[in-house]
Structure 1
Amino acid sequence: MTLQEAIVADDVNELYSLIEQDANLLNHSSKGPFPNTPLHDAANMGKTKVAMEIATLKPSFARKLNQGGQSPMHLALQKKHYHITRSLMTLNPKLIRVRGRGGITPLHFVAGEIGDNEQENVELLELLAEFLSTCKTSIEDLTYQCETAVHVAIRTGNTEAFKVLFEWLKQVHLTEVLDWKDQDGNTVLHIAAFKRQPKIFKLLIQYTDVNAKNFQGRTALEIFQESPSGSPDVADSFRYEGRRERRYSPSLSLSRFSGRESTDSKKFANIFSVQDKSNREIIVVVSTLIAAATYQAALTPPGGYWQDSSSNSTVIAANSSSIAPGKPHQAGDIIMSGSNLFIYTFWNSVTFFASIATISATALRLEACTIMVYICLAILCIAYYITMTIQIPETDEVAQTSAALLSFLSVPAVMSLPIYAVYKRAMRTLVRLRVDSTRRRLTTS
């Protein structure tokens, strides 16, 4: 039996028997820049078992394009072998982003594919949803005409696929994709205007810039009004949205954005945002150790604590120059007092809060993901303050005042960092929305 016959029979055992006879069996027909690999043949014929075995043995085959510009997943989709598509996706989710002929990815293909019957349509929509949930960043892939999957769905009249994409974009807060432009400068709203799709108009109006112009200088409303059959209520909705102030409409060219001088806030962020991941990890570990050591030092000061209460002015606690003999005290107060207590408290507190601030500043690169960390740090600072104020005797006003002052200054500083991080993220997003550019990416460094 030949390799081709084993693929047709979907016989895994025979496949391995052939490989035992010839270790280079799978490589014979897989040479050249655009090979038609055995995985292509298996995907084209819908032979799941053999296809998965070959994909496991030769993972690189799954990304190769044949002379027709198709990957194995593209072929499986074209032949409606959706079970193979799902199987390949489980091996490597990034296969969803492989560009084939025309820059079309499997996501683009499914977004533009309309089934022959209701059951097939349901399966395609399920597959589309699986693609999006499995590989979120696949939504940013563009065809060679700079079309997103949403462009493709509207252009091909696949309304159901558009609804899946639209609702998913709302759920993951990526509606900015709806304002991306194709090679002619058309947003999805322009395409909907060309295709005369009033139902899609009403869905898009609140989430897109109705004043956006394509490279011919035309808005979607102008395109819509060119047809005498245009729905009056849709046109009124366009006019209403057009009159509304869009504070963050694209108004900044990419060249102007790239050439802008860094603001003071951005320079500040660059100073405290360590770029290298390994360096950030080292800084966080060292700062955490320092914070733990200084917090422990606050709980176990030199000399310890008074074990009893006394108002007798003749009591002498121990032989130490740092202790004020005969000073009234309460059980649980720090025995150490005077200038030594002030110096110890001041520098231990400074070191503790400096390490907390270092952890917070280093975590700025993680942005909103660390909000719970900031809250925990603030609670830790409050706990430190309470510990210091409880154990320092009321008679040592200088030490109590210094500890309280440092705590009151440090807790707001720690809490202000997450607010700054969220603000920075929001402002960067809003500025990016102002950039009028065809090729955009969700992932930014």
Structure 2
Amino acid sequence: MNLQGAIEADDVGKLYSLIEEDENLLDHGSAGPFPNTPLHAAADKGKTKVAMEIAILKPSFAQKLNRGGDSPMHLALKNKHYHTARALMTLNPALIRVRGRGGITPLHFVAGKIGDNELLELLAEFLYACKPSIEDLTNRCETAVHVAIKNHNLKAFKVLLGWLKRVDLTQILQWKDEDGNTVLHIAVVEEQLEIIKLLIGHTDVNAKNFQGETALEIFKDSHPSDNQDVARRLRGRSTPNLCLSEYFSRELTSKEKYEFFFGSGDATARDIILIVATLIATATYQAALSPPGGYWQDSSPSSNPLANSTVATTNSSGIAIEKPHQAGDIIMKSPNLYFFSVVNSMAFFASIGTILATALPLWPRTSMVYISMVILGVAFTFNLVSQFPKSEEVPGLLLGYFNLSLQVAVMVVPLVVWGKHLGIVNRIDPPGRHIHNLQG
């Protein structure tokens, strides 16, 4: 039995017997730029056991293309040997990204192939095993979503859309093919109303293709009078889009100026800022709990006739009478107390404001950070005001209002700055093709 016979029989034992006889067995006929390797032959016939052994012995074979522009995984998929394709994927998930003829990857292939539930499950497994595979484009700049829509594969589109939502990559729906068409443009051209309805809310309805047409304009040309509900949804906002050149020609937004000034645009600097801000917030909160001088441990006698006085004095026998106080009041004297409270509060709220501003670009995933910082700010204010001397109730209330105003400022200012930034960035109409965008 020769090598082809071992492949046909899916006999791993015979394969190794042949290798013992000729250690270069697998290399015969596998040279050249586009070889038809033994792995190609095994995958083409769905001989999973032998295919896996050859892929382990010769990992490079799995990424080579034959003269037809197919990798072993492409051949397995084309011949519906899904078990073999799945086995190769478990061996090396990067095989999902191998580009074959036309730049089509295995992910593109399963996204465009209308089949049974097993094929849909394989599509989901590909996405789960190799997240970056969604970035890959065909030679026509098509994503897997483009391919699914062009092939009217509604089930595959739903799998892709659900996955993009879960991994927060719906921005890929904005990517354009070689004609400047987003997936929404394609869905309108192909008259796939169900897909159009699913896409609205996740794509920019004002995006134009390279012919200068929006999805609504294409829809009106093909549906001049009917489907008014879809037309209404496609109208979207009237805000004009910006091309990249127009965006780069503009002045920096307030958010971008903030990033350059504080260095938060750099990942390393951002980590340092967060660490320092957290340390300052911890130190200032602790200082509010344990102010210099501490607290009175007991209350002054309630029978003291000078209970409402704010200064220490002496009685008729010349014995000093302590300043009126209650247990738990801060001991620090008024001028120092005011200065300490104001400066400590400003440092505390500046630090949590920095944390909020740094976390904002990742909203809504950082929503719990906002909630936690708000609760912490309220607790800080309540703690400080409740420990203020009862004889100085008015300054204590003023300090409470001052702290609340600081908390509102550190919450609202980052939101306003970020909102204005998004108002410009969300109008950009680039070709896409990169996961990292200008908002992150």
- Tell me the TM-score range normalised by the shorter chain: 0.7 to 0.9
Aligned-pair distance for 1:43? 2.8
**Taking structure 1 as reference, are residues 262 and 350 closer, same or farther at Cα in structure 2, changes over 3 Å only?**
closer
Alignment of 1:294 onto 2:284:
yes
Partner of 1:69: 69
1:333 aligned to 317, 329, 335, which one? 329
Are the aligned partners of 1:94 and 1:135 in contact in 2 as well (CA < 8 Å)?
Answer: yes
Aligned-pair distance for 1:222? 8.5
2:196 aligned to 204, 209, 215, which one? 204
1:441 aligned to 426, 434, 439, which one? 434
Alignment of 1:355 onto 2:351:
yes
Letter of the 2:271 counterpart:
E
Q: Give the match's secondary structure for 1:369.
A: coil
Alignment of 1:131 onto 2:121:
no
Aligned-pair distance for 1:81? 1.6
Q: Find the aligned partners of 1:19 and 1:11 in 2 and give their Cα distance.
A: 13
Partner of 1:385: 381
Q: Give the match's secondary structure for 1:184.
A: coil
Are the aligned partners of 2:300 and 2:324 in contact in 1 as well (CA < 8 Å)?
Answer: yes
Aligned-pair distance for 1:327? 0.8
Q: Give the match's secondary structure for 1:236.
A: coil
Letter of the 2:103 counterpart:
G
- CA RMSD of superposed structures (Å): 4.4
**Taking structure 1 as reference, are residues 267 and 248 closer, same or farther at Cα in structure 2, changes over 3 Å only?**
farther
Q: Give the match's secondary structure for 1:306.
A: coil
2:258 aligned to 262, 268, 286, which one? 268
Q: Give the match's secondary structure for 1:182.
A: coil
Identity of aligned residues (%): 58
Letter of the 1:83 counterpart:
H
Aligned-pair distance for 1:345? 2.7
Partner of 1:108: 108
Q: Give the match's secondary structure for 2:390.
A: coil
CA deviation map 1:368-395 (0-9, x unaligned):
3222112212211211111111112122
Q: Find the aligned partners of 1:244 and 1:281 in 2 and give their Cα distance.
A: 41
Alignment of 1:43 onto 2:6:
no
Alignment of 1:147 onto 2:142:
yes
Partner of 1:400: 396
Structure 1 residue runs without a partner (length 5+):
116-120, 317-323
**Taking structure 1 as reference, are residues 145 and 388 closer, same or farther at Cα in structure 2, changes over 3 Å only?**
same
Aligned-pair distance for 1:202? 4.9
**Taking structure 1 as reference, are residues 45 and 431 closer, same or farther at Cα in structure 2, changes over 3 Å only?**
same
Are the aligned partners of 1:342 and 1:398 in contact in 2 as well (CA < 8 Å)?
Answer: no
Alignment of 1:307 onto 2:297:
yes
Are the aligned partners of 1:211 and 1:242 in contact in 2 as well (CA < 8 Å)?
Answer: no
Q: Which moved more, 1:61-70 or 1:214-223?
A: 214-223
Q: Which moved more, 1:383-392 or 1:20-29?
A: 20-29
Aligned-pair distance for 1:144? 0.9
**Taking structure 1 as reference, are residues 426 and 217 closer, same or farther at Cα in structure 2, changes over 3 Å only?**
closer
CA deviation map 1:204-255 (0-9, x unaligned):
26737888775567787888899xxx8x7x8512697179743267743343
Aligned-pair distance for 1:97? 3.0
For normalisation by structure 2, the TM-score amounts to: 0.75
Q: Which moved more, 1:376-385 or 1:236-245?
A: 236-245
Q: Which moved more, 1:380-389 or 1:207-216?
A: 207-216
Letter of the 2:296 counterpart:
W
Q: Which moved more, 1:386-395 or 1:88-97?
A: 88-97
**Taking structure 1 as reference, are residues 71 and 414 closer, same or farther at Cα in structure 2, changes over 3 Å only?**
farther
CA deviation map 1:183-219 (0-9, x unaligned):
2345556656766xx5x23542673788877556778
Structure 2 residue runs without a partner (length 5+):
313-319
Q: Give the match's secondary structure for 2:227.
A: helix
Letter of the 2:251 counterpart:
E
CA deviation map 1:271-304 (0-9, x unaligned):
3461332332232223222322222222223332
Q: Which moved more, 1:83-92 or 1:178-187?
A: 178-187
CA deviation map 1:332-390 (0-9, x unaligned):
11222233333333333333233323333333454432221122122112111111111
Letter of the 1:97 counterpart:
R
Paired positions, count: 422
Q: Find the aligned partners of 1:209 and 1:288 in 2 and give their Cα distance.
A: 38
Alignment of 1:161 onto 2:151:
no
Q: Find the aligned partners of 1:59 and 1:365 in 2 and give their Cα distance.
A: 41
Aligned-pair distance for 1:178? 5.5
Partner of 2:317: none
Are the aligned partners of 1:274 and 1:362 in contact in 2 as well (CA < 8 Å)?
Answer: yes
